[in-house]
Structure 1
Amino acid sequence: MLIEECSKKGEIDSRDAINLGGLLRQQGRLKEAEKHYKNTLELIPECIQLRANAINLFIEARKLEEAENLNIAGLKLNPEDRTLLETFGRVSLGKQEYQKAKSTFEKLLKLDKHNINGFLGLGQAMDALGNWEEALEIFQEMKKLHPKDERGTTNQLLMLQRLGRHREAEVIYANLDPNQKASVQIKTALANLLMDKQDNETAERLLSNLCMEDPYNSSHWLNHAATLKALKHNNASCRVIKEGIKREPLNSDLKLALGQSLAEMGRHKAAISCVLEASNNFNSMNATYLTNIQFIGAGYNLIESIERKRIAREWEGKTQREGVGALWGDRIRSNMRKRPLRIGYLSADFTTHPVGRFIYPVLKNHNKNEVTVVGITCGPHEDILTHKIRMECDEWVNINYRTDLEAARILSDKQLDILVELGGYTAHNRLGVLVHKPAPLQFSYLGYYAPTYLKCIDGWIGDKELFGGLNSTDSESHKLLLVKGGYMSFFPEAMPKIAAIREVRQLQFGCFNHARKLTHECIELFCNVMRETHRETKLLLKSISFVEKVEQHRIKKMFAEAGLAEDKLITLPWVEGWDNHMKMYNEIDIALDPIPYGGATTTCEALIMGVPVLSLAGEGMVGRLSTSILINAGLSKWVAKDKIEYINKAKSICNNNHLSKEEREQVRYQLMSSSLGDPKRLARELEKIYDNEQRLRNS
């Protein structure tokens, strides 16, 4: 009351105003605190501490525009005040205006070359700008000047992790004393390092404790959830994210993570709702948000194509404005007539992953007199197939620890004629690199089931059947480059054994696709198949997510709600190793392709094991993956045009009973003797496309 009375009289003591503001914040009366700061600053605008406290309140409330306005007004009165420069830098970081933050903290350090918050803020701005080497130097200097402040060490470890210099980080950590190792910040840095090294089990235990020690740090919850997801415990991951949201209900990163988790659990409408809410109407969209919106929106037709195109183009425009233009034109290029075409393949999945398995035979069969193959990896994992793929490449580049602009410069120096990205909007994609146009021609191929819509993509490689269900927006977003005989090839190095049915058993349908593809529409179709076959049949499901019992229970409940008797459904456990996985196909007689998001890898696997695959020719590329495979394999008899025909074809196959071992081997022979079993054919067709598009560009 005294403050209000003084305010009315125009007389107020700055110490009282500061103390009251602090008391209101301490009591959680934030609205009153905001009003108090606004009123008192009109009377005593020159009080820097009061203004700084007000700015900090608005930063904490994420009201960054109001915080910035207060800051600017204060700097007009005191342009070199160190406290206000620090808060202005923090506001700029919060608004993702990293260049402005960098300039502000540089000015602060000119005024006070030992200012610890200046070092911290400048390092954070450099990190956000992707200048990791410079950020590392800043944090090293900070550590030297302020050796007792653990933030210097923490951020030094973080930058070394960003740069992939794990051994240096491990040496620094090993030399810390026990008290330092026990600090929350150091343990946080260690957890990040463990995750980057793919030691998810150790990281998960450490992060579980950090969530309890420091529960209001959203990064702990996000990283804990990420480690659980990496360990295939998606339901547990979802529970962790929800616990984090209880602490920080407005945190956009947690909402985005929840959307990802819900999508993995097949709750696609709830997932896209979370992602859209987290994206804040696309005003400050980054590549991670874009990836999730596109992947979920396209996979389950939850966002119209025209809207996905608009979102992608807005992000591309924003990214281009932050860049330096097309980089390939900045280089003096060698004479193409005297050398093979230089083709770069970019992927995060040059591993035992569907993309790795499908692209390996292509690389192995490229005519090295016609093309020079440059493998460009951007993924966090490597395995035995990575090394095989690398051996088939003439050159190998790792851009995993490079920013988009740095990576684009490196690829531009490679003088690629064509850059083929294999990931689209999938995990660890680097579409931001392509926006900077490191190659004169850039194509999308193989790893993603929809267009990227980006103008920097000059062509989309597929085939007639694959693109047969595209709507006008999707078909016009890129030039469609058609591969004769099918856009892919399946040629396992070792053929798994087809076993004879060991005993007389019931006919068994099966679906080995990820459980996230089992939408309500899909489950209803599968249940109708089971009902209409009018005989004792069972349905076998296998998914990598079934490592969790709770996930098996969730799927069983959905089928029960759709009317399928409990004894009709069998969920198979996840098994380690491709050979063990392939043996499981001996247990099914007919594979059911899911809708609307069909299979590709599982379709090829089933056919190679002699199992008929029923597919519905749906909408978009996502609905034609199996259709393309079956038609190009000469097995169009198993492609249905609608749900009724899908059910009727299932009934027809059932009437023929179990396929014998010989009949299954005939299905395999049909696949392997078709164009899909000929990787040399695919390599030549791709080379024709590359050559033709290069000639058209030069003509």
Structure 2
Amino acid sequence: MATIQDVLTAALAHHQAGRLNEAAAGYRAVLDAVPNHADAAHLLGVAHLQAGQPAEAERWIRAAIQSNRRAPDYHDNLGSALKAQGRLDEAVTAHRQAIRLRPDFAQALYNLGNALDALGRREEAVTAYRQAAARRPGYAKARFNLGNALTALGRRDEADQAFRAAIADDPSFVEAHANRGSLLLSLGKAVESNAASARALALRPDHPTALTNRAAAFLAAGDAAAADGAARRAARACPDLADARLRLGEALHRANRLAEAGDAYSIALALAPDLAEALANLAVVRQTQGLLDDAERGDRRALILRPDLAEVRSNLAYLQLFQPGVTLAGVLAAHRAWDDAHGAPLRAGWPKPTGKRKTPANGAEPPLTVGILSGDFRRHPAGQFAIRAVEALPAHGIRLFLYANQTEADDLTARFRAVAERWTPVAALSDAELAERIRADRPDVLIDLAGHNARGRPGVFARKPAPIQVAWSGYMATTGMAAMDGLIADRHHVPDGAEVHYRERVLRMPDAFIAYDPPDGAPDVTPPPCLSGAPVTFGYFNILTKLNPEVLRAWAAILAQLPDSRLLMKTKALSCPITAALWRDRLTKAGIDVNRVTMIGASTNLEHMGWCASVDVALDPFPFSGSTTTLETLWMGVPVVTLPGETFSSRHSLAFLEVAGVEGCVATDEAAYVDLAVGWATDPTRLAALRNSLRARMAAGPLCDGDRLAGSLAEALKKLAS
């Protein structure tokens, strides 16, 4: 007659062979004979977990724990059952209990890391994975997941070390090779990425991630044929062909191959018409190409499929700023629509107001703690607009907590970090997690440098993590959000009477609302090219999204009055030959001879400024004016002819020209715009005089005075918070 131990041993044999039903039957037989048999209850729970029945697994594992609370394995597997049910906080507690019972329990540490990572608590997950790997030599899975968590945190060099360690533990770990390939691609190491992906493909020739990585690496190396071949193999290998095309489109988009990216997204949609992400991405391509109507249609279709896509609704609101005839009332309505859909549902969770800041007994004014959230603490327009004032804020009684929604770093990043009392990378955190993090830091004021732009986090501000929230510099309109208390502006951007069209309280700075930080090493100012006998050259340096038939009509009139003149168009999207051809066709239809037009694509920033110096007069688009491009062009001594409207985004060049003291550039209508451009182009003496004086005036004036702006900004923020 078989003993209980014999039955348990037979059940274990079935379990180890993968025969879960037979194993479960054996464990039940043991429990029928000995109801409190802890090991049988635990193993029955494990069998249910492996069979995809986590709730039943939890029931039996808890029964085992009732019989024996000191078994670490029981608590660890309970954590796995809870995680499988989405009960992550409980899973963390169970895994921690297993570790308390056995501090060197590597598997429990690994499982703890997985639960913490799923909660978005990645710093804690990193610690758990490191401890798991330290306690079990050769634990490749722990090192692999460590690499994934570090990648999500933006700690890419450490992530590469973790992936390499995982591969050293297990050279056949195909996912480690593939993920390392993705990481190296994000670091701009195309050759190394290609090699890592090749190793993954040697192990699994149909691995879609490795194939897609190779396509992107070939693109970065300029090998279009090899990229196309790899992308096609990825599409064949991936069961979800639409997803493979979606990822290929993203790779092509990063390489400025806009038309090909659009084709990839279109194929994805042909394969999966309800793929909202492909619609949204295609809309961004069309927007970048300057096809506004196509972009808007794509965004609206994506929102029909996925009304929860807040980024798409942000983009839809942003698109309104470019439309001819745009009004302040229309801009406010478009942005309030975002808040109605995505902000309003979060208002019930706003913390209750805590009252005014307390003044110490000695009467001294306490420092104001100001948090700034941005993905652009770097060489980006928002960073260049803010850095000088931010560097000066501490001298005006401001403590700075900077929340960096980015993984890149450059010289400007170092300057922001140097002035921050607290620097927190947040790119890996969800909106809810980031809002909780900010709320725990308790800043008096939280500033947004992105709004509805790329890398913006309106979903964080909609949760109201700070008592006072203010928009500044990175977005050129109202945010439309009830959660935003203030908007930093100036009298040029928001003249008296326009406040009614802003959801926020308008805080006007005395000069411009930004302080420009020109790049080190900018080319020296040179005489106007036309002085050397060359034809007069007009320049356009803004994105194609800002162009429309009204702008092209004005350009055609200008060029018609000066038959020998030329036009230089320089913007990143023109790196795509098909996009450039599209715009040559549009110019021709507008009556502009394309033989008089030179098109230039992407370049370095300093090369870009050299191109600015190569024109005599710059032409500003309307109704969305230039901002950084205007400042760069003025820094090179070149006048910018502008036609402002009523919206914030139409008045950048007006503001900068006024503050810099440049006269004769601001038009009141399209005819005046044409006359001003022709007037400048036919007056080389005035052009030369402006070049000789403008840079020095800008450098010495309020347009570049960060301390002056910081003083006004600090005063406005303190008043708002009092």
TM-score, normalization by structure 1: 0.73
1:88-128 Cα shifts (integer Å, max 9, x gaps): xxxxxxxxxx9996259999xx9xxxxxxxxxxx9999877
Return the match for 2:553 from 507, 524, 544.
524
Query: What code does the residue aligned with 1:443 have?
Result: V
Which residue is 2:261 aligned to? 237
Which residue is 1:102 aligned to? 86
Instruction: Between 679-688 and 262-271, report the one with greater CA deviation.
Output: 679-688
Determine if the alignment matches structure 1 residue 376 to structure 2 residue 411: no
Return the match for 1:567 from 583, 592, 595.
595
Cα RMSD (Å): 4.3
Determine if the alignment matches structure 1 residue 488 to structure 2 residue 514: yes
Query: What code does the residue aligned with 1:466 have?
Result: H
Change (3 A) 1:238 1:435: same
The 8 Å contact of residues 328 and 415 in structure 1, kept in 2 or not, is answered as no
Determine if the alignment matches structure 1 residue 278 to structure 2 residue 302: yes
Return the match for 2:505 from 479, 487, 491.
479
Determine if the alignment matches structure 1 residue 626 to structure 2 residue 653: yes
Please, which runs of 5 or more residues in structure 2 have no aligned partner? 1-48, 56-81, 95-111, 134-139, 195-212, 217-226
SS at match of 2:471: strand
Quote how far apart the aligned CAs of 1:392 are: 2.8
1:320-360 Cα shifts (integer Å, max 9, x gaps): 55xx5338859998959453212222211111111111211
Instruction: Between 162-171 and 620-629, report the one with greater CA deviation.
Output: 162-171
The 8 Å contact of residues 296 and 319 in structure 2, kept in 1 or not, is answered as yes
Which residue is 2:323 aligned to? 300
Change (3 A) 1:449 1:153: same
Return the match for 1:390 from 392, 417, 440.
417
Change (3 A) 1:269 1:608: same
Quote how far apart the aligned CAs of 1:567 are: 1.9
The 8 Å contact of residues 507 and 658 in structure 1, kept in 2 or not, is answered as no
Measure the CA separation in 2 of the matches of 1:681 and 1:137.
44
Instruction: Between 653-662 and 584-593, report the one with greater CA deviation.
Output: 653-662
SS at match of 2:557: helix
Measure the CA separation in 1 of the matches of 2:616 and 2:174.
54
Query: What code does the residue aligned with 2:518 have?
Result: P
Determine if the alignment matches structure 1 residue 613 to structure 2 residue 640: yes
Return the match for 1:512 from 536, 541, 564.
541
Change (3 A) 1:251 1:691: same
Which residue is 1:649 aligned to? 676
| Aligned 1:388-537 pairs, distance under 5 A | 388-468=415-495, 474-475=501-502, 477-492=503-518, 494=520, 496-500=523-527, 501=529, 503-531=532-560, 533-537=561-565
The 8 Å contact of residues 269 and 275 in structure 2, kept in 1 or not, is answered as yes
| Aligned 1:59-458 pairs, distance under 5 A | 102=86, 130=120, 158-164=148-154, 166=156, 169-171=159-161, 173-174=163-164, 189-190=179-180, 192-194=182-184, 196-197=186-187, 199=189, 202=193, 204-206=213-215, 209=230, 210-214=234-238, 216-280=240-304, 283-286=307-310, 288-300=311-323, 305-320=332-347, 324-326=349-351, 329=354, 335=360, 337=364, 339-366=366-393, 368-458=395-485
Quote how far apart the aligned CAs of 1:690 are: 1.3
Quote how far apart the aligned CAs of 1:160 are: 4.5
Measure the CA separation in 2 of the matches of 1:658 and 1:249.
59
Change (3 A) 1:139 1:586: closer
Change (3 A) 1:341 1:308: closer
The 8 Å contact of residues 167 and 177 in structure 2, kept in 1 or not, is answered as no
The 8 Å contact of residues 290 and 312 in structure 1, kept in 2 or not, is answered as no
Change (3 A) 1:304 1:679: closer
Measure the CA separation in 2 of the matches of 1:372 and 1:266.
42
Query: What code does the residue aligned with 1:174 have?
Result: R
SS at match of 1:366: helix
Change (3 A) 1:154 1:397: closer
The 8 Å contact of residues 195 and 227 in structure 1, kept in 2 or not, is answered as no
The 8 Å contact of residues 283 and 294 in structure 2, kept in 1 or not, is answered as yes
The 8 Å contact of residues 542 and 571 in structure 2, kept in 1 or not, is answered as yes
The 8 Å contact of residues 299 and 449 in structure 1, kept in 2 or not, is answered as no
Measure the CA separation in 2 of the matches of 1:257 and 1:99.
33
Change (3 A) 1:106 1:389: closer
Query: What code does the residue aligned with 1:193 have?
Result: L
SS at match of 1:653: helix
Measure the CA separation in 1 of the matches of 2:89 and 2:145.
17
Which residue is 1:28 aligned to? none
1:113-145 Cα shifts (integer Å, max 9, x gaps): xxxxxxxxx9999877645579899999999xx
Determine if the alignment matches structure 1 residue 542 to structure 2 residue 570: yes
1:165-209 Cα shifts (integer Å, max 9, x gaps): 545654554366799988986666445434554557848535553
Query: What code does the residue aligned with 2:538 have?
Result: F
Change (3 A) 1:187 1:213: farther
Quote how far apart the aligned CAs of 1:386 are: 0.8
Which residue is 1:58 aligned to? none
Quote how far apart the aligned CAs of 1:599 are: 0.4
Change (3 A) 1:296 1:688: same
Measure the CA separation in 1 of the matches of 2:546 and 2:85.
44
Instruction: Between 465-474 and 176-185, report the one with greater CA deviation.
Output: 176-185
Measure the CA separation in 2 of the matches of 1:690 and 1:212.
57
Change (3 A) 1:315 1:187: farther
The 8 Å contact of residues 372 and 449 in structure 2, kept in 1 or not, is answered as yes
1:289-344 Cα shifts (integer Å, max 9, x gaps): 233223223343787641431232320123455xx533885999895945321222
Which residue is 1:62 aligned to? none
Which residue is 1:47 aligned to? none
1:45-92 Cα shifts (integer Å, max 9, x gaps): xxxxxxxxxxxxxxxxxxxxxxxxxxxxxxxxxxx9977989xxxxxx
Query: What code does the residue aligned with 2:292 have?
Result: H
Query: What code does the residue aligned with 1:326 have?
Result: P
Measure the CA separation in 2 of the matches of 1:378 and 1:505.
46
Query: What code does the residue aligned with 1:524 have?
Result: R
Which residue is 2:107 aligned to? none
Instruction: Between 204-213 and 514-523, report the one with greater CA deviation.
Output: 204-213
Change (3 A) 1:657 1:398: same
Instruction: Between 198-207 and 551-560, report the one with greater CA deviation.
Output: 198-207
Measure the CA separation in 1 of the matches of 2:475 and 2:553.
26
The 8 Å contact of residues 507 and 657 in structure 1, kept in 2 or not, is answered as no
Query: What code does the residue aligned with 2:275 have?
Result: N
Measure the CA separation in 2 of the matches of 1:156 and 1:499.
53
Larger radius of gyration: 2
Change (3 A) 1:154 1:672: closer
Quote how far apart the aligned CAs of 1:563 are: 1.2
SS at match of 2:395: coil
The 8 Å contact of residues 276 and 305 in structure 2, kept in 1 or not, is answered as no
The 8 Å contact of residues 372 and 403 in structure 2, kept in 1 or not, is answered as yes
1:251-299 Cα shifts (integer Å, max 9, x gaps): 111111111111111111111111111122763234x223322322334
Count of residue correspondences: 591
Measure the CA separation in 1 of the matches of 2:338 and 2:514.
29
Measure the CA separation in 2 of the matches of 1:629 and 1:280.
40
Change (3 A) 1:489 1:279: same
The 8 Å contact of residues 634 and 674 in structure 1, kept in 2 or not, is answered as no
